Amino acid sequence: MSKPASVIFPDVPTAAMTYCTSRFRTVRRPAVEVKVGAVGVGETNPIRLQSMTTSDTQDVVATVRQSVALAEVGCEIVRITAPNVAAARCLRDIRAQFSAAGFEHIPLVADIHFLPSAAMEAVEHVEKVRVNPGNYADKKKFAVREYSDADYDRELARLYEAFSPLVLRAKALGRSLRIGTNHGSLSDRIMNRHGDTPLGMVESALEFVRICESHGFHGLILSMKASNPKVMIQAYRLLVARMDTAHRPYPLHLGVTEAGDGEDGRIKSAIGIGSLLLDGLGDTIRVSLTEDSVYEIPVARTLAEKAGISRQESAAVRQETGTPQRGAENPEPEGSDPFNFSKRETVTFMLGKHCVVGPEQPPRVIVRVTPAELPHLKSKVSSPNFADTPVEGVLVPVTSGADLALVIAGVREWAPSAFLALELVPELTPADCEAQTSNLKSPVLLVRAFAAGESEFLRSFAALARRHGHFLVCAVAPADLPRLGETLRDLGDAHLVFTLDSRLPAPDRAHSVGRYRQLAAQLRALGSRAPVWIRNTAATAIGRSPDFLSRLLDASILTGALLCDGLGDLVSIETEADPARATKLAYNVLQGAGARSSKTEFVACPSCGRTLFDLQTTTQRIRKRTGHLKGVKIAIMGCIVNGPGEMADADFGYVGGAPGKINLYVGKTCVQYNLPQAEADDRLVALIREHGKWAEPAPAASPCFAAPSPSRDPAVTAS
């Protein structure tokens, strides 16, 4: 065999790279079709939904039962771990029994880490094999060393020898392969040359792609998973940009790994998967939850449906305008860099008694309440993990002058620490507002939609805001974005905030994320540093959102995608009628996007056939003890084989070491081995104390509102 030449990336400036046809509308990336058994992935095939069994693979009956359960809820591709050759051998019986149960058409995938011998056995029995390029031919040693180009080439030659037999066998049998990179388990070679960066993740996969292509094998699907959605989004974008210049456009498998469970797991998945689907990327998806796998499918289906709706909108406008379905649209807003995160620069200002808005500040949370609810508002949200989470801003709709007087009177009695935003109907004039708000001690946000041609009126409101130290929130209709220059003329940024009036459709049918990107692009082009308020409303939803899950996914996609782009200074989720739930959801979305930490961050693997303890109950137990530790990241991983490598940048790790035994980690260092599980929770808490990261739980705060919301919603919990 002649090995392919080593290729280290040429230094292509990221500004010259594109990864999608439109950042404003959903135009699906044209991937080639790869067959996984009878199921086509990529090209014009629907986005395929997949999941993974969690049983011991050598328990054939249990694994077949789980595979059937997944297939019955709509899973189109089932993955099963093959941790050793014996387990890989069991895949033959699993395949046979699964087919006999009527699911011959559903392909099975073997999940391989570390053992090429297990992969060589598995490829004989199932339709696809997933390999992790970080550990297929490399043992993770966390070694720091310099690799000269000659060293690096020697490593690639070793990789070539180790991986080629699988490629050749897959080619002979008509199997497909997934090159599945994980952010947390890159090889030492990649780590030392590229670091644990999106670029390192991409190069890790392309090392394997080049070997496949050198053998004329193209049945490839690629993935770039990370537990941090921001890293995952950047890695997929970079992969596409790099891959499409030198390789075939292989289909993409999207997923956020170790996303956790409940609301948090769904939010993280929606941020990562949902925003890439809106960009037109992704051909098959897996939502990884630390719950029974069947609960992953409804979430994946809803995300895929939303992407479909967004694609149809885009296709319709392209047909109406005669724009070709592919190409012909400048995808990048001027000045934005989708491959590197940087927060948009804005002016800084103070709202209320404690709240600063600005580029160095976390996004501020605003909750919408009715005038009747306002007097009952307390200053903090109460729920198990939100003991010290403040209500920062309150948005109250005001429909008349009398209404405004009542709200202001209520505010005077209420004397909150939160700042006030007043949503004004067009009938209210600047004079009405001045009379009521001029004597308020704290600045308020005056929120008003301005139609085209109302620029004089807008100027009057802006002057009023400046005179009294208030802020004008200018809600711009998408159709009026091109005229934003007129709005900004002579006004300056000092007392302005921008948001979208999403009730009116965008004339180019941009999706809700795209509309905010257009707003930010316009502000950038005009040199404005005014903050942007992301408002989640019924009008920003993708399709109908009849239940909490759908609304949660909408809020996560819009808010999360924009925050991962570095956009958004204020956030409100106005689709939840219960203000306590809306506030909690907003903080959870900010945490999921890595924009603001309000509680402990849990990185929990979804579990699989390697898992050594009950991940679901353990995660819930540890959350109960440590969920109040703001800013602390705890990983709960089911096995020692993969767990330590994949727990990313967690502060502490709780990892299955052997049946009934737990290893505890501080960062990537194992500090306690083989603890009986009955002692492990206490020892974890002791370890957190020793490292100065422990805080006593705060006494329960008074509820945000008179009736506290349930802490978990049945629509998003497993049971």
Positions in the binding site for ligand SF4 (CB under 6 A): 605-608, 610-611, 637-639, 641-643, 646
Pick 112 or 585: Cβ nearer ligand SF4: 112
From the CB of 68, what's the least distance to ligand SF4, in Å?
A: 21
Pick 59 or 337: Cβ nearer ligand SF4: 59
Pick 502 or 611: Cβ nearer ligand SF4: 611
From the CB of 640, what's the least distance to ligand SF4, in Å?
A: 8
From the CB of 85, what's the least distance to ligand SF4, in Å?
A: 17
Is residue 247 a contact partner of residue 217, using CB atoms and an 8 Å limit? no
Pick 439 or 617: Cβ nearer ligand SF4: 617
Is residue 84 a contact partner of residue 112, using CB atoms and an 8 Å limit? no
Pick 585 or 608: Cβ nearer ligand SF4: 608
Q: How many CB atoms lie within 10 A of CB 698?
A: 11
Pick 381 or 605: Cβ nearer ligand SF4: 605
CA distances from 397 to 339, 373, 394, 423 (A): 39, 11, 10, 5
Spatial neighbors of 579 by CB under 8 A, at least 6 apart, are 367, 368, 369, 373, 377, 704, 705
From the CB of 222, what's the least distance to ligand SF4, in Å?
A: 19
What are phi and psi for residue 377, nearest 5 degrees? -70, 135
Pick 48 or 286: Cβ nearer ligand SF4: 286
Q: Measured at the alpha carbon of residue 374, what is the angle toward residues 369 and 376, in degrees to the nearest 5? A: 115
From the CB of 665, what's the least distance to ligand SF4, in Å?
A: 13
Is residue 49 a contact partner of residue 75, using CB atoms and an 8 Å limit? yes
**Overall residue count recorded for the chain in this entry:** 719
From the CB of 648, what's the least distance to ligand SF4, in Å?
A: 12
The string over 421-452, giving b where at least 16 C-beta atoms fall within 10 Å of a residue's C-beta and e elsewhere, is bbbbeeebebebbbebbeeeebbbbbbbbbee
Quick one: CA torsion of 452, 455, 456, 460, rounded to 10 degrees? Answer: 120
Residue holding tokens 């390999």?
131
Pick 94 or 593: Cβ nearer ligand SF4: 94
Q: How many Å apart are CA 464 and CA 7, to the nearest integer? A: 61
From the CB of 522, what's the least distance to ligand SF4, in Å?
A: 44
The residues pairing with 357 across neighbouring beta strands, listed in sequence order, are 349
DSSP strand E in 469-605: where? 471-476, 496-500, 533-536, 570-573, 601-604
Is residue 364 a contact partner of residue 357, using CB atoms and an 8 Å limit? yes
Q: How many Å apart are CA 689 and CA 388, to the nearest integer? A: 20
What is the dihedral sign for C-alpha 13, 15, 16, 20? Answer: positive
Pick 338 or 606: Cβ nearer ligand SF4: 606
From the CB of 284, what's the least distance to ligand SF4, in Å?
A: 18
From the CB of 645, what's the least distance to ligand SF4, in Å?
A: 8
From the CB of 193, what's the least distance to ligand SF4, in Å?
A: 25
What are phi and psi for residue 697, nearest 5 degrees? -60, 135
The secondary structure of 133-144 as a DSSP string is TTTSS-------
Element spanning 189, H or E = helix 188-194
Among 413, 407, 415, 436, residue whose Cα is nearest residue 352: 415
Is residue 190 a contact partner of residue 143, using CB atoms and an 8 Å limit? no
Radius of gyration of the chain (CA): 26
Among 119, 199, 498, 563, residue whose Cα is nearest residue 362: 563
From the CB of 641, what's the least distance to ligand SF4, in Å?
A: 6
What residue is closest to ligand SF4 based on CB? 638
Query: What six digits make up the tokens of 540?
Result: 């920003």
From the CB of 506, what's the least distance to ligand SF4, in Å?
A: 41
From the CB of 256, what's the least distance to ligand SF4, in Å?
A: 13
Pick 121 or 574: Cβ nearer ligand SF4: 121
Q: How many Å apart are CA 151 and CA 168, to the nearest integer? A: 26
Is residue 684 a contact partner of residue 666, using CB atoms and an 8 Å limit? no
From the CB of 616, what's the least distance to ligand SF4, in Å?
A: 12
Helices of type H across 196-295: 198-214, 229-246, 262-269, 275-278
Pick 598 or 611: Cβ nearer ligand SF4: 611
Pick 26 or 57: Cβ nearer ligand SF4: 57
- Cα-to-chain-centroid distance, residue 241: 20
Pick 569 or 646: Cβ nearer ligand SF4: 646
Q: Measured at the alpha carbon of residue 321, what is the angle toward residues 315 and 324, in degrees to the nearest 5? A: 60
Pick 382 or 611: Cβ nearer ligand SF4: 611
Pick 542 or 615: Cβ nearer ligand SF4: 615
Reduce the DSSP state of residue 114 to 3 states and report it: coil
From the CB of 119, what's the least distance to ligand SF4, in Å?
A: 15
The string over 601-615, giving b where at least 16 C-beta atoms fall within 10 Å of a residue's C-beta and e elsewhere, is bbbbbbbbbbbbbeb
Pick 80 or 398: Cβ nearer ligand SF4: 80
Q: How many Å apart are CA 525 and CA 502, to the nearest integer? A: 21
Pick 314 or 607: Cβ nearer ligand SF4: 607
From the CB of 135, what's the least distance to ligand SF4, in Å?
A: 11
Pick 129 or 639: Cβ nearer ligand SF4: 639
Spatial neighbors of 406 by CB under 8 A, at least 6 apart, are 371
From the CB of 124, what's the least distance to ligand SF4, in Å?
A: 22
Q: How many Å apart are CA 12 and CA 15, to the nearest integer? A: 8
